[in-house]
Amino acid sequence: MCCCGPCAMYRRSALLLLLDKYETQLFRGRPSDFGEDRHLTILMLNAGFRTEYVPEAIAATVVPNSMGAYLRQQLRWARSTFRDTLLALRLLPGLDRYLTLDVIGQNLGPLLLALSVLTGLAQLALTATVPWSTILMIASMTMVRCGVAAFRARELRF
């Protein structure tokens, strides 16, 4: 649902068809300055184009080099995920079931993670016991999500 900016390629003819909508992206009535790659992907899918993952592709990008920069990046990405999910909901029935699962996971995952962490902290604070069941649940959900991605990509290291 998001072709990452530095790793994506588009046909010029397809991009030109959507350029006006892409350049005038608004969020709550103001020009949007985040999540442009996700927005462009959704515009492409809405227009009937398809996306394709090419595992042989090689791309370079800049990654955060501090925890603060990483957390700012993740917050920016989460904001665009939640915002653009509303645009993508009507697309889901026509797309691969994995994408539907991924969209659900991207939106419910952070909520369930926050709930799990709060539950674990409450258990630790109220009973002074280690919340092993919470830790196991978070680890299990992480492994399931990573396992599904690796299976779909047919590449264990994915």
As a 3-state breakdown, the chain gives helix, strand, coil percent values, each rounded to 5, of: 70, 5, 30
- How many Å apart are CA 140 and CA 79, to the nearest integer? 25
DSSP 8-state assignment for residue 47: T
pLDDT in tens, 1-23: 777 777 788 889 998 999 888 87
- Listed by start position, the domains of the chain span 1-95, 96-157
What is the longest distance spanned by two Cα atoms in the chain? 62
pLDDT in tens, 134-153: 899 889 888 888 888 788 77
Residue 16: what pLDDT? 92
Q: Tell me which residues of the chain have a pLDDT lower than 70.
A: 158
CA distances from 124 to 110, 111, 117, 131, 135 (A): 21, 20, 10, 6, 12
